Amino acid sequence: MSSKPESWAYLNRVIEGPSRPLQELLSAGRDADDIARGVRTRAKWLGELGRQTQARYNHDQSAADLEAAAAVGARLISPDDQEWPGAELDQAFGFAATGRSEHLRSYQADAVPPHALWAKGADLTGLVAQSVAVVGTRAVTRYGVEATRQIVAGLASHQWTVVSGGAFGIDTAAHEAALAAGGNTVAVAACGIDRVYPARNAALLERIAGQGCVLSEYPPGTTPQRHRFLTRNRLVAALTAGTVIVEAAWRSGALNTLSWAEGLGRVAMAVPGPITGAGSLGCHERIRSGRAQLVTGADEIRALLGAVGALDVTQQYELAFAATPAQSLSRNELRIFDACGSAAVSAEDIAAGAGLPLPLVVHLLMDLHRRALIGREGSTWFRVGEHRD
């Protein structure tokens, strides 16, 4: 049984994520209603969560928070909801939990998923099913803007959602390029969903909500603060298959997102910049040290993302021994292949079965058709070799 939205909203207000103690209680089988009740009554079984909530446990604004979100057209998403991006978060933070990464040692305590999200715009799971983060410096140059536009346009043409932080500079260029190409984009905010930051990007963020999604881990009214930008970066990296950094100086904050991508088992990529300035020193250092793959265009990014992590490790073993066309398919291609059958069905039915956005499904169906894995009859599709009238 699902917990009440009010319980998730309460926990989101009194526990600023990421919270390892809360995630441990959820993993142990306690639901949000039970935990919220325990926090309110100061239950002894809370353990570390009791200490973590001592200063805020009586800040019960759940009804007001849900109303404030609704007033700006936003909604609360919890792990109980179908829209929760569980596959992406489980894979990213599951990798972090293995301890195999050297890049999370300084902030391992934060390497846990959010316990609630606030969203304004389209369905989140469909948007992040095939997504890549594009981030970089706020002190952007003309080169950085042009490189970002070229890369994002190429990604958008292949139905890749571009995720960034909504900030000035490369973030803005990435969002604008995705919108201009008619693609999808997600802005992950470091403040409450009812706040606009930076204020000068108000119109852009509204357009993003109309053509993609604006997302926040923080309850309404939360102000942007330095530590929240770092927390936001982990979410940008976790929701995407990989992170591309365009222009980053030696100590650029955008490099933090790239570090999170490494630590969460995502693909870390960097675009080289001119050697005549210091604006891309951070990118060059990551490439030189082997911590980021050098990329110069959308096709190289797509090739890397298709080659690494395309299938869950636990699922790969079975597929590796199967002498079928499925052996060569990416995770999303396999979802579509499985949603097709011997009887011809519409793209809409395949999208519903695969749980993916219709434009992405049509794009991948056309590619599978060119590879002779999926057949087509008018507006319907079927697996080649299995079609029966």
- Determine, yes or no, domain membership for 85: no
Angle (CA) 83-170-143 rounded to 5° is: 145
At residue 93, the pLDDT reads 93
- Determine, yes or no, domain membership for 215: yes
- 303 shares its domain with 319: no
- Determine, yes or no, domain membership for 34: yes
Let me know: does 200 contact 229? Beta carbons within 8 Å. no
At residue 98, the pLDDT reads 83
Dihedrals phi, psi of 161, to nearest 5 degrees: -80, 135
- Determine, yes or no, domain membership for 2: yes
- Residue 299 makes CB contacts below 8 A (sequence gap 6+) with 154
**pLDDT, tens digit, 9 for 90 and up, residues 253-307:** 889 999 999 999 999 999 999 999 899 999 999 999 999 999 999 999 999 998 5
Question: Where are the alpha helices (H) located in 157-217, listed in sequence order?
Answer: 170-180, 202-211
pTM: 0.84
Q: What is the span of the domain harbouring residue 111?
A: 103-307
Structure tokens at 114: 């959010």
Buried residues in 194-222 as b, exposed as e (16+ CB within 10 A): bbbbeeebeebbebbbebbbbbbbbbbeb
Q: Which of 155, 102, 152 is nearest to 130 (CA)?
A: 155
- 275 shares its domain with 327: no
- Determine, yes or no, domain membership for 89: no
At residue 322, the pLDDT reads 46
Euclidean distance between CA atoms 119 and 150, whole angstroms? 28
- Determine, yes or no, domain membership for 75: no
Let me know: does 188 contact 216? Beta carbons within 8 Å. yes
Q: Which of 30, 31, 37 is nearest to 60 (CA)?
A: 37
- 269 shares its domain with 128: yes
At residue 313, the pLDDT reads 35
At residue 323, the pLDDT reads 45
**pLDDT, tens digit, 9 for 90 and up, residues 165-190:** 999 999 999 999 999 999 999 999 99
At residue 266, the pLDDT reads 95
Q: The domain that contains 333 carries what CATH number?
A: 1.10.10.10
At residue 385, the pLDDT reads 72
**pLDDT < 70: residue spans in the chain:** 1, 103-108, 307-328, 330-331, 386-389
Question: Where are the alpha helices (H) located in 239-373, listed in sequence order?
Answer: 255-263, 281-288, 298-307, 313-320, 331-339, 347-354, 358-370
Any idea what DSSP says for residue 187? E
- 109 shares its domain with 205: yes
- Domain boundary residue, one of 245, 277, 307: 307
- Determine, yes or no, domain membership for 356: yes
At residue 368, the pLDDT reads 86
Counting the structural domains of the chain, the total is: 3
- 299 shares its domain with 174: yes
Q: The domain that contains 229 carries what CATH number?
A: 3.40.50.450
Structure tokens at 46: 């809370």
DSSP letters of 146-207? HHHHHHHHHHHTTTPEEEE---TTHHHHHHHHHHHTT--EEEEESS-TTS-SSGGGHHHHHH
- 171 shares its domain with 185: yes
At residue 320, the pLDDT reads 44
- 6 shares its domain with 35: yes
Any idea what DSSP says for residue 77? E
